[in-house]
Structure 1
Amino acid sequence: MLLKIVKRDFQRNKMITLGLFIFIMLSSLLTASSAHVVMELTHSLDNLLVKSNAPHFVQMHAGPIDNEAIANFAAANSIVKEQQTVEMLSLDGSQVTLGSSMKTEANSVMDIGFVKQNLQFDFLLNLDNEIIQVSEGEIAVPIYYMKQKNLHVGDQVSLSKGQFQTSFTIVDFVRDVQMNPSIVSSKRFVVSDADFTALKSEFREIEYLIEFQLTDLSKLSEFHNAYQASNLPNKGPAIDLPLLKTLNSLTDGVIAVVILLVSLLLILIAILCLRFTMLATIEEDYREIGVMKAIGIAQPDIKKIYLAKYFVLAILAAIGGYLLSLIAMKWFTANISLYLGAAPNSVLQHAVPLLAVSLIVGIVVLFCRLVLRRFNRITAVDALRTGASPAPPSSTSILSLSKRRLLPVNVFLGLKDVYGRFKMFGILLFVILVGLLIIIVPVNFMHTLQSPQFISYMGVGQSDIRIDLQQTANVDQRFEKMIASLEEDNDVVKLSPLVTSRFKVLGSDGAWESINVESGDFSIFPLSYMDGASPATAGEIALSDLNAKDLNKQVGDTVQLLIGDKEQNLTVSGIYQDITNGGRTAKARLPYNEESVLWYVVALDVKPGVSVRDKMDQYAEAFYPAKITHLEDYLAQTLGNTIKQLKLVVLLAIVISIAIIALITSLFLKMLLAKDAAQLTVMRSIGFKNSDIRIQYLGRILLVSAIGILIGILTTGTIGQGLVKALGSFMGASNIQLVVQPVTAYLIIPAAVMTIVAITTFVTTLSMNKSRIAEQIGK
């Protein structure tokens, strides 16, 4: 009997059941996919670290080097397991041409380095996570360029410098544990030992990677401080294993979090969808429930009839969602497989998504049991007498039909009903609000990443052009000549020379640590500060968000720096956000430390009407081998991969959200029509037409939708902003402000939602027919 009742229920509500099945399946699909991404990311990254034998600490250095001093330091330090110093030839982008392109990499934001394969650790891997070996005349190119330039095995890489020209054949692509992510602006090309020696005689700019592996990773911070406290080479950024893990997991980690948030919102809406379905079914079966109670069927058995349907539905939908996730995960994890490699399969990679899907089934069953408590209020007498649940008392005396003035009767009656039963309509309002959030928050986040304003989260002010000088011979003299030349350029409106050097700072634990401080006038191209302002005097310093947290400092606190041989107290003037150099930088108006200069930068704006591209070409020739960057290009090249993946998630969120809103609106109306069946009969009997009743329902739903959309737009600035801040905190920018495109967020998306709701309402209310009314009259 139970099976017959369940089968009949499926046949009677095929579309509703199918819709509910689809959304539980989508919830399972996204939840399982998110779990797949997290597990794949974790396992692939761990596998890459093992296969590459990743370094635990790396100090980059440009300039002369004392290998003997480094070896003595390593030998004297008991926690050093291995040490190697890697030579990397630094080439200017204008000297490199990739593939069939006729253009050089002069405008690339990436620093190009040529290396040979390492012998002890920090191995450069191919796409099969095997150690790359190349012969003379061959080259392995970073994966970043494979994607950006659509390169293939057999393509050429050409190098030129003056009269010297050579080319290499691409035989493989490099998976580099240090420099894989696009947000890392350095890339390593691998050539043979013989070719490296030959290139070294032509391209003399060498940067060193001083790498260490430790026996005890718990002492990594202690080792870091010990190295910085020594007089060993340190003219460059230092990175450690935790930072390597963060950088490699950043892009896909953000995408996984966004998918998970969408899936959680989808689960919430799916159970609301389930609630509407169950309530509509109970309303339709109210008399039958009364009959079953009257003939003596126990209430727990009646509940089992209804629970069985949704339990079977949830199980089948969850299985379907999980199976689809096995297909979809190739889509979501394609970037992980490319940049990190596919990790060997493990039990956890399948167990965790299965557990996540099982949790959804558990939530559905638990929610069904909560809804079915409504049976406790149904009595056989009331069900047989009325055939419908009693309407809740409403207080609508304020909205009297006799007092209406401007509104048409049908519109007024619809609004009056919303006011009288707002608690019930509030559920639909909540669904539309959440559905809108699912669309607007990812869209705004994508616009934020694409906005030129995002450059302020990289620790630099907005300018037309940025010129970088790395450590080379006579770099200080070249910097002075460049400044003089730019000051005489009539096309330049304003410029700001900045020099980054390394100082010692007293840490929160009382030990001296190294800190990179950028010196210059920061009022010319100001940053957006989380708190405070830029340093205005030589006695002030601004700290990046992560540095402020590490040093446990706030605006107004004192920071102790070692400047020369003297200790000097500086007041923290402001705290800013920075996602470059590990998010740990500082800015001050100090005389820079000439002995530990890391790099020189000039930011400048040109006059309106002057071609930025032409100026970049001019400066590239005049200040060679300086790196000339258009800041918008920097964003596109470093965050392009993240934005591309986010677009996919945004499109998925839009499609799912619109479908959810349409289905929930339809289910809500079906429940409402079943509940209002007797009332509709009365209205028809006193002369209301179906078109009149349809206008009333349309007015109700559109009013609720408008309120939901308005609250959703306002909520985007709070909940949405909070989610984006949480994501940004992983990158060192915990106060990212959403950039909103008003036309898209406040006009196009709300209009699309209102249109979907209106069409759904119109189509659903077409189901009102005379047979149903005659049936009610008969009752």
Structure 2
Amino acid sequence: MYAIYSLCRANLRKKKVHNALIGLLILLSTILLVTSVTVILNTTNLFTSMHAKTHGSHELLILDGEVHDPKLVYGWWKEQEGVDTSPLIPFRTLSGISRPGNEPTAGLSNLYLYMMDSTARPYEVDELLFAQGEESLVPEPGTVWLPSSIAYLYDISPGDTLEFSTGDSKLTMEVAAVVVDMPFGAPFPTSARIWMNHQDYITQFQDIPGKDQYMMGLRFENYSEGLGYWERWQQDMGTPYLGSKITFQEMSSFYLIMNKAIGFIMVFLGLMMMFVALFTIGFTISDDILSNYKTIGVIKALGLTSRKLTSVYMMQYITIAAVAVIPGFIASRFLAGVIVDSALSSLKTKTGGVTPGGGWPALATTLLVLALILLCVFYYANKARHVQPMQAIRYGMSETQHSMKTRRLTRGKGSSPTGLFGRAPLLAVIGFRNLLKNRKATVLMLLLSMMMSAVLVLGFVLLYSISHIKETSSLWGYDSTDVVVQVTNKSVFSRSEFDQQAASDPRIQNTNWIGAVNGVVTADRPVGVEASYTGPMNFSIIVIDGSYDEIGYRNLSGRNPQNKNEISIGMKVAKQLNKEVGDVVDIYIEGYEHHLTISGIYQSIANMSYSARILVDTVRVNHPDYENLDSGFINLANDADLEQVVQDLSAGYGNSASVTTQQTLLDAVYKQAVASLILPMSIMGLLFTGVTVIIVYSLSRINIRKEGKTYGIYKTLGLTSWKIRFSILLGIMVLSLLGAIIGAGAGVYILPMILGRILKDYGIAELPLILNWWGIVALALMTTLASGLGSWVSSRIVTSTSPRILVIE
């Protein structure tokens, strides 16, 4: 046992730098893998835990009283066993928030607001948790409760003053508290519930045209039985539920999407890093056995068994792995906490944050990393069993290897592979010979270059595509117009006057108006076939007075609707209904059934592709006076006029409409996505860059030591140390460039395709990317430079060693 311990300690002490690099590689592998597992599992767990804590709704009904009597709906659900309901809460809708004394913020100005008439807490369903401010049963007069998704994103705190436009006047309220409101608390908010005092609500809205609408949340004891309740509703009422409805899937989607995407990328890259670590360990052990073949033969001749020799390597790498894995496990918890916190910050409360717990999955992942390392060490260290003492002492290698080497040396000139390099420059021949002679190291460096390039390019492509989303907005399901007008005061705003002014303005090319209605599709069920019933599908339908083509809406297949009996549907609607372009769909719109032909199918991340598009003429079949179109989309003849047009329209309609650029709106929504991606992608990029430099340094150093005698001969023949180092650098940089090109292709095409499979669940079938080839090439070259740096630093040993010593060795 003492002999094993002595040899292990000698190996650790003799190769301090190399062992440290192996340990660092294991550390980084552990960090990536454990972090990814923690992020994926805790994102879902934290959301589920908070949803359970607030007794969150599985479905949120929005009732306007025109299609269904809200009190009748509430009474029916209160009678159902196994269902909890929230109070029937009245609300009115407004558009936009402003902050007195602050510059207007596009994201706040264009929020769709539900001004809630707060009833006394606690709520049986969708209880509010206080994140900031004093907790109370209802808001005090003159104050509101603001959801954390808005407050954190726009840095609003209790005590701040907000203004809301209500007809001809402004409603000024103070923020009393910030609350976690689960149905409207997800990242990328476009709508929010503002909780008002009852007296303030009555005072402010009693003289405003319109009537109260209502919300109520439903929580099922068994969520899977929800369809059965809706089937019973249809039997009792004689019609499907025709109002608006937000499902649990829609509520949860944007809580989970960013961390699932980040976690997936980290799992993939962590596995690649682990593969590199195992390959490096295997290469190191194999190289060590070959380099010390004679020494191992002598030791075995002295009585040390093969099993004990294997134990030397096992003890060595158990020590290195233990020192690396434990800090990696600890660091991963910190990193996972930062990533989860950045994406789920809206779930922070006064009593707790969103710090993830490690749990058994993180510990199991750590133990799996350790087990893989030990299995790899055992497999390669077991090769020491094949060392025969007599052959090792005589030849310094196995007899088979010695015979092969002898045959190569005695081969005729005509069969020599050096003829391939007969006309190549000398330095290039030396560099490429170094790669061909050390094939395992060459393969490892090639793989490293490919992975580093893929990581850097993927991160760059994702960040660039999201930060320049205006260029691909139509592929994400948004419009691609220049200016957006959001009507905030219908009693003052005159659409006819606006259209006349726009038509007479030579800078404006066209104007289209859009609104939204609720649509309901019921699935067909053949008699006696219970399993085929999927329940009614409620989704939002975009209504346009104009042309979808003009505002840039695109389809995956087919085209946009062009007459009143056509409809374009989202891919999730098409999938659930099993419909294709040309099929007919029966759909209820504003309480009336329509038979519409599907003209196109599109993708949209805004509502997970649970939506549709129709013309306003379709609604006017039953509602001839329908004019509920509150959003205007303007295209300009010249982009140079963009800012001036926005200023002119804002000056003319500032009291009745919010006017901004479409780019500003997209930035307001997706700046959170960019912020969430920057940290993890930067960390992974830095990790892989560091690993590349470290491993190339380590492998080059091993190769140089093995070829020390050869380089000594080169120096005695007149080659300078600089030329020898340059030849080594040249070979590795060419190899790295090849790997970088392959990796860049993977980062541009293969990895986004795999990532797209995750986004398919969120309504995106084809991931829209913008390829900035200058940036991609720059990052590919960065991979080559990182490899070159590791090679150049490692080759300093050639400069510091004299030719005489090298030849003697």
Normalising by structure 2, we get a TM-score of 0.85
CA deviation map 1:318-341 (0-9, x unaligned):
111112234334423323663123
Alpha-carbon distance in structure 2 between the residues aligned to 1:504 and 1:252:
32
> Which one of the candidate residues 607, 619, 629 is aligned to 1:581?
607
In structure 2, the partner of 1:637 is 668
In structure 1, the partner of 2:17 is 15
Query: Within 5 A, what are the aligned runs for 1:228-307?
Result: 237-307=244-314
Query: Within 5 A, what are the aligned runs for 1:252-401?
Result: 252-335=259-342, 338-341=345-348, 349-387=358-396, 390=401, 401=418
Query: Within 5 A, what are the aligned runs for 1:616-631?
Result: 616=646, 618-619=648-649, 622=653, 625-626=656-657, 628-631=659-662
- Once the 2 structures are TM-superposed, how far is the Cα of residue 302 of structure 1 from its aligned partner? 0.5
The DSSP-based 3-state class of the residue aligned with 2:62 is strand
Alpha-carbon distance in structure 2 between the residues aligned to 1:541 and 1:91:
29
The DSSP-based 3-state class of the residue aligned with 1:366 is helix
In structure 2, the partner of 1:101 is 102
Residue 72 of structure 2 is aligned to residue 69 of structure 1: yes
Residue 742 of structure 2 is aligned to residue 735 of structure 1: no
Alpha-carbon distance in structure 2 between the residues aligned to 1:754 and 1:211:
57
1:127 maps to a residue whose letter is: A
Q: Which stretch shows the higher mean deviation, 600-609 or 426-435?
A: 600-609
Alpha-carbon distance in structure 2 between the residues aligned to 1:50 and 1:713:
44
Alpha-carbon distance in structure 1 between the residues aligned to 2:379 and 2:109:
59
- Once the 2 structures are TM-superposed, how far is the Cα of residue 178 of structure 1 from its aligned partner? 1.0
Change (3 A) 1:485 1:376: farther
- Once the 2 structures are TM-superposed, how far is the Cα of residue 698 of structure 1 from its aligned partner? 1.9
- Once the 2 structures are TM-superposed, how far is the Cα of residue 25 of structure 1 from its aligned partner? 1.5
Query: Within 5 A, what are the aligned runs for 1:761-772?
Result: 761-768=791-798
Query: Within 5 A, what are the aligned runs for 1:470-481?
Result: none
In structure 1, the partner of 2:642 is 612
Alpha-carbon distance in structure 2 between the residues aligned to 1:317 and 1:49:
37
Alpha-carbon distance in structure 2 between the residues aligned to 1:113 and 1:402:
80
Unaligned runs of 5+ in 1: none
- Once the 2 structures are TM-superposed, how far is the Cα of residue 429 of structure 1 from its aligned partner? 0.6
Is contact 2:481–2:552 with CA below 8 Å preserved after alignment?
A: no
In structure 2, the partner of 1:501 is 517
- Once the 2 structures are TM-superposed, how far is the Cα of residue 360 of structure 1 from its aligned partner? 0.9
1:66 maps to a residue whose letter is: D
CA deviation map 1:425-468 (0-9, x unaligned):
22221111012112211221111211213422442331112345
In structure 2, the partner of 1:462 is 480
Residue 102 of structure 2 is aligned to residue 110 of structure 1: no
In structure 2, the partner of 1:138 is 143
1:27 maps to a residue whose letter is: S
Q: Which stretch shows the higher mean deviation, 690-699 or 57-66?
A: 57-66
Unaligned runs of 5+ in 2: 525-531
2:269 maps to a residue whose letter is: V
- Once the 2 structures are TM-superposed, how far is the Cα of residue 715 of structure 1 from its aligned partner? 1.9
> Which one of the candidate residues 124, 129, 133 is aligned to 1:125?
129
The DSSP-based 3-state class of the residue aligned with 2:109 is coil
Computed over aligned residues only, the root mean square deviation of the Cα atoms, in angstroms, reads 3.8
- Once the 2 structures are TM-superposed, how far is the Cα of residue 271 of structure 1 from its aligned partner? 2.2
Query: Number of matched residues?
Result: 773
In structure 1, the partner of 2:507 is 491
Is contact 1:123–1:131 with CA below 8 Å preserved after alignment?
A: no
Q: Which stretch shows the higher mean deviation, 8-17 or 202-211?
A: 202-211
Is contact 1:280–1:674 with CA below 8 Å preserved after alignment?
A: no
In structure 1, the partner of 2:529 is none
Change (3 A) 1:725 1:135: same
Alpha-carbon distance in structure 1 between the residues aligned to 2:415 and 2:514:
68
2:517 maps to a residue whose letter is: S
- Once the 2 structures are TM-superposed, how far is the Cα of residue 221 of structure 1 from its aligned partner? 3.5
CA deviation map 1:2-47 (0-9, x unaligned):
2222222222221222222122122222333333333432332223
2:348 maps to a residue whose letter is: G
Alpha-carbon distance in structure 2 between the residues aligned to 1:608 and 1:192:
47
- Once the 2 structures are TM-superposed, how far is the Cα of residue 420 of structure 1 from its aligned partner? 6.4
Is contact 2:512–2:633 with CA below 8 Å preserved after alignment?
A: yes
Is contact 2:340–2:355 with CA below 8 Å preserved after alignment?
A: no
- Once the 2 structures are TM-superposed, how far is the Cα of residue 589 of structure 1 from its aligned partner? 5.1
The DSSP-based 3-state class of the residue aligned with 1:178 is helix
- Once the 2 structures are TM-superposed, how far is the Cα of residue 165 of structure 1 from its aligned partner? 5.4
In structure 2, the partner of 1:24 is 26
Residue 54 of structure 2 is aligned to residue 52 of structure 1: yes
CA deviation map 1:370-426 (0-9, x unaligned):
322433443334433444685988999798656757632121242355456656522
Alpha-carbon distance in structure 1 between the residues aligned to 2:302 and 2:391:
15
CA deviation map 1:518-573 (0-9, x unaligned):
35533223444334443456665432121121112344555444689776362x44
Alpha-carbon distance in structure 1 between the residues aligned to 2:17 and 2:731:
24
Change (3 A) 1:50 1:131: farther
The DSSP-based 3-state class of the residue aligned with 1:580 is coil
- Once the 2 structures are TM-superposed, how far is the Cα of residue 622 of structure 1 from its aligned partner? 3.2
The DSSP-based 3-state class of the residue aligned with 1:139 is strand
Residue 455 of structure 2 is aligned to residue 429 of structure 1: no
Query: Within 5 A, what are the aligned runs for 1:680-699?
Result: 680=711, 683=714, 688-699=719-730
Alpha-carbon distance in structure 1 between the residues aligned to 2:330 and 2:107:
47
1:16 maps to a residue whose letter is: H
In structure 1, the partner of 2:456 is 439
Change (3 A) 1:74 1:330: closer
Change (3 A) 1:467 1:611: same
The DSSP-based 3-state class of the residue aligned with 1:581 is coil
CA deviation map 1:222-262 (0-9, x unaligned):
44577689699988742112322223222333333333333
1:741 maps to a residue whose letter is: N
Query: Within 5 A, what are the aligned runs for 1:695-710?
Result: 695-710=726-741
CA deviation map 1:271-298 (0-9, x unaligned):
2332343344334433322222222322
Is contact 1:127–1:338 with CA below 8 Å preserved after alignment?
A: no
- Once the 2 structures are TM-superposed, how far is the Cα of residue 729 of structure 1 from its aligned partner? 1.7
Alpha-carbon distance in structure 1 between the residues aligned to 2:367 and 2:565:
59
The DSSP-based 3-state class of the residue aligned with 1:523 is helix
Normalising by structure 1, we get a TM-score of 0.88
> Which one of the candidate residues 443, 447, 453 is aligned to 2:471?
453
Instruction: Report sequence identity in percent.
Output: 15
Alpha-carbon distance in structure 2 between the residues aligned to 1:397 and 1:474:
95
Query: Within 5 A, what are the aligned runs for 1:712-727?
Result: 712-727=743-758
Alpha-carbon distance in structure 2 between the residues aligned to 1:685 and 1:350:
61
In structure 2, the partner of 1:199 is 204
Alpha-carbon distance in structure 1 between the residues aligned to 2:277 and 2:431:
27
The DSSP-based 3-state class of the residue aligned with 1:442 is helix
1:568 maps to a residue whose letter is: H
Change (3 A) 1:668 1:555: farther
- Once the 2 structures are TM-superposed, how far is the Cα of residue 725 of structure 1 from its aligned partner? 0.6
In structure 2, the partner of 1:568 is 595
1:218 maps to a residue whose letter is: S
Is contact 1:561–1:567 with CA below 8 Å preserved after alignment?
A: yes
Is contact 1:40–1:336 with CA below 8 Å preserved after alignment?
A: no
Change (3 A) 1:372 1:251: same
Alpha-carbon distance in structure 2 between the residues aligned to 1:87 and 1:327:
43
1:47 maps to a residue whose letter is: S
Is contact 1:468–1:602 with CA below 8 Å preserved after alignment?
A: yes
> Which one of the candidate residues 680, 684, 691 is aligned to 1:653?
684
Change (3 A) 1:646 1:513: closer
